[in-house]
Chain A
Amino acid sequence: QQQVKQSPQSLIVQKGGISIINCAYENTAFDYFPWYQQFPGKGPALLIAIRPDVSEKKEGRFTISFNKSAKQFSLHIMDSQPGDSATYFCAATLYNNAGNMLTFGGGTRLMVKP
Chain B
Amino acid sequence: DTGVSQNPRHKITKRGQNVTFRCDPISEHNRLYWYRQTLGQGPEFLTYFQNEAQLEKSRLLSDRFSAERPKGSFSTLEIQRTEQGDSAMYLCASSPRLDEQYFGPGTRLTVT
Contacts and interface: CB of A to CB of B under 8 A. Distances in A.
Our verdict on whether A and B bind, yes or no, reads yes
Contacts, number: 67
A104 B44 contact: yes
B43 A89 contact: yes
Interface string B31-56: 10101000011111100101000011
Interface residues of A, number: 26
Contacts of B93: 43
Contacts of B102: 45-46
Interface in B59-112: 91, 93, 95, 98-106
Interface residues of B, number: 27
A95 B98 contact: yes
28 contacts: A4-B42, A6-B42, A32-B98, A34-B100, A43-B4, A43-B103, A44-B43, A46-B102, A49-B99, A89-B42, A89-B43, A91-B42, A95-B98, A96-B98, A98-B50, A98-B55, A99-B31, A99-B48, A100-B95, A101-B45, A101-B56, A102-B33, A102-B35, A102-B43, A104-B43, A104-B44, A106-B42, A107-B41
Q: Which 7 A-B pairs have the closest CB atoms?
A: A104-B42, A43-B103, A99-B48, A101-B45, A99-B56, A100-B98, A89-B42
